[in-house]
Amino acid sequence: MASLPLSTVAITNISSLSRPPRLPQPPHRLTISCNTSESHPGKVDRRNLLLGMGGLYGASNLILPGAAPASPIPAPDLAKCTRGTNLNLRQPLDVDCCPPFSENALDYKLPSATDIRVRPAAHLADNAFIAKYEKATVLMKALPADDPRSFMQQANVHCAYCNLTYDQGGADPSNKLQIHFSWLFFPWHRWYLYFYERILAKLIDDPTFALPYWNWDNPKGMAMPSMFVKENSPLFNPRRNQAHLPLTNPPPYADLRFSKKSSTPQDKVVPSNLTEMYSEMVRSAVNLEDFYGAKYELGAKPDPGAGTVERGSHTAIHAWVGDPNSPAGEDMGNFYSTGRDPLFFCHHANVDRMWSVWRDLRGSKPKEFADPDWLDTSFLFYDENAQLVRVKVRDTVENLKMGYTFQKVEIPWLNKRPKTKARVRKLKVAEESSAPKATDASVFPVKLDKVVRVLVDRPKRKRSKGEKEKEEELLVIEGIEVDTSEFVRFEVFVNDEDDGPSDVIDLAEYAGGYSQVPHKNAANVKSKMRLGLTELLEDLDVEDDDKILVSLVPRDGGEDITIGGVKIIYV
């Protein structure tokens, strides 16, 4: 069997894969961390955003100077992996997803990317590719249970990194690592798919093999890919929402603003999905932090704030696929079990593609975080040779350097800038509203078990084109507190007269949504979300107004959501 190229620098020899007894926690020591701020480099003028398309996904990046002293999160200590903790109940999880143990790791160096692997769109994949993918998955599932490359061990990789099983590495051993809800979301999942893909490729002795991506941002690919539905296929999983299987003509389309209680009607899913994608990828994704997620460094608490794609389409697909009749939305609908469904990897291949598409939209040399807290954060994975390797975020920025790209398809949401609901100016909506001001002490915090409307002051009005290019106007929903064991979703509208959730969001009044995949390490956390206003206010023709009406509309689990405040900032 041919071996895929690998280049590493040995630190020490790899030990046995048997796991030793858990080691005691280290003594407390001084925590060193960097201050965070609302501002990060990398803002792009949306007027130039759509001009950067062309060329392969993943063009060269430009690292900016001026980074602060770093306190990046180190790779976890596998010896201290635990079952994790349900923070609400203060008890261990009932799932052990710790990996096979190895004392030491190798520092991974990306092989030379000579032959670029092409990840195909799942709905365009031919029978030969599907047969190859099925064979590789059969072989992965046939590996011994303690082989870190086996299917269940690979599924547990996601469980371990996402359910507070690892110490974060700082002074406080109770502060656990979480790679969601922050700027680590895209790079960690890119590494995860990278090694999963290489394991499959080696098992079938085909270094050109690449994972398919579920093209759910395109109407032609919005249905669940048929290759995952055949019951005799290794790609099949019975723990899925049976109502969403592609067994009818036309098949059900994935709902990118899915809610168990108020999902989008199928005849309105396509325009709703395209508006959601435009919001996530263009309107609210001008700044690096808004797309990637908020800064998360050593000593920080989990969930500082998810990026647009993570809290939107990414989460919606997880919930849409997960089995509503299982205890907690398993498999795709819960963090601990989601990797047990082969469809997870196809879904996240498209999430990974969104990162590459977004960078392409920003031109040939898009700016990136210069912060070593991001670039030097490291993780541990087992590679295709069952070798434990240490990797860093800095090596994930360009997918071409990692040796793969994506089959080109049309991107219809690029031309779906939403329209206003009415031709009249939306000024009177705020002027005539009896809603309280967001600054009133009696308003927040508020439970989102009903629609909440507030008037929000705009500190800057009548901004010039130059001022808009320099600073994005952002609506910040802060102090978002949720029970992480539950699926929740709420949406935000500006100057909208409707009292409840809209069936379709292909309207300029829609600012964005917040949703969350449930996970077993239940904890009440406080987070935030930022939504771009500059283009939205232009479309509503209210740029000169001194206030806007903001509606927070619960769609699922509102009784489990508390909002701490709403304000406008300029970044």
- Cα 520 to Cα 321: distance, rounded to the nearest angstrom: 18
Listed by start position, the domains of the chain span 7-20+46-415, 427-570
What is the model's pLDDT at position 173? 81
348 is in an annotated binding site: yes
Instruction: Given the residues 40, 123, 244, 348, select the one marked as catalytic.
Output: 348
Beta bridge partners, 391, equal: 379
Tokens coding 559: 């009784």
Q: How many CA atoms lie within 13 A of 364 on its CB side?
A: 2
Taking phi first (over 0 means left), then psi (-120 to 50 degrees means alpha), and beta for anything else, what does residue 299 get? left
Cα 38–chain centre separation: 20
- What is the pTM for the complete model shown? 0.87
The dihedrals phi and psi of 228, each to the nearest 5 degrees, come to -95, 5
What is the model's pLDDT at position 32? 28
- Cα 124 to Cα 101: distance, rounded to the nearest angstrom: 40
189 is in an annotated binding site: yes
Q: Are 97 and 165 in contact (CB under 8 A)?
A: yes
40 is in an annotated binding site: no
Instruction: Given the residues 123, 244, 314, 519, select the one marked as catalytic.
Output: 314
Instruction: Given the residues 40, 151, 181, 189, select the one marked as catalytic.
Output: 189
519 is in an annotated binding site: no
Beta bridge partners, 456, equal: 548
DSSP-derived 3-state class of residue 228:
helix
318 is in an annotated binding site: yes
Tens of pLDDT along the chain (571 residues) come to 444 544 443 333 333 333 333 333 333 322 323 333 343 445 544 434 444 443 333 333 333 443 344 599 999 999 999 876 554 444 555 788 999 999 889 999 999 988 999 999 999 999 999 999 999 999 999 999 999 999 999 999 999 999 888 999 877 888 889 999 999 999 999 999 999 999 999 999 999 999 999 999 999 999 999 999 999 999 999 999 999 999 999 999 999 999 888 888 899 999 999 999 999 999 999 999 999 999 999 999 888 999 999 999 999 999 999 999 988 889 999 989 999 999 999 999 999 999 999 999 998 888 899 999 999 999 999 999 999 999 999 999 999 999 999 999 999 999 999 887 654 556 688 988 999 999 999 999 999 999 999 999 999 999 999 999 999 999 999 999 988 888 899 999 999 876 555 555 677 899 999 998 887 665 667 899 999 999 999 999 999 999 999 999 999 999 989 999 999 999 9
Is the fold of 7-20+46-415 the same as that of 427-570?
A: no
Instruction: Given the residues 158, 244, 347, 519, select the one marked as catalytic.
Output: 158
Instruction: Given the residues 335, 344, 369, 493, select the one marked as catalytic.
Output: 335
Instruction: Given the residues 123, 244, 318, 519, select the one marked as catalytic.
Output: 318
* Domain at 7-20+46-415, CATH homologous superfamily: Di-copper center containing domain from catechol oxidase (1.10.1280.10)
Q: Does the annotation count 318 as an active-site position? A: yes
What is the model's pLDDT at position 52? 42
| HEC sequence for 380-416 | EEECCCCCEEEEEHHHHCCHHHHCEEECCCCCHHHHC
DSSP-derived 3-state class of residue 452:
strand
- Whether the link from the prior residue into 331 is cis, omega within 30° of 0, is yes
Q: Does the annotation count 487 as an active-site position? A: no
Q: Does the annotation count 195 as an active-site position? A: no
Per-residue CA distances from 461 to 294, 310, 435, 510, 542 (Å): 27, 31, 21, 21, 9
Beta bridge partners, 428, equal: none
Instruction: Given the residues 40, 123, 180, 519, select the one marked as catalytic.
Output: 180
What is the model's pLDDT at position 175? 87
- Cα 113 to Cα 134: distance, rounded to the nearest angstrom: 26
Per-residue CA distances from 526 to 148, 167, 302, 517 (Å): 34, 20, 9, 15
Beta bridge partners, 67, equal: none
Q: What is 427-570's CATH number, 2.60.120, 2.40.128, 2.60.40, 4.10.60? A: 2.60.120
What is the model's pLDDT at position 350? 98
Q: Does the annotation count 519 as an active-site position? A: no
Q: Does the annotation count 335 as an active-site position? A: yes
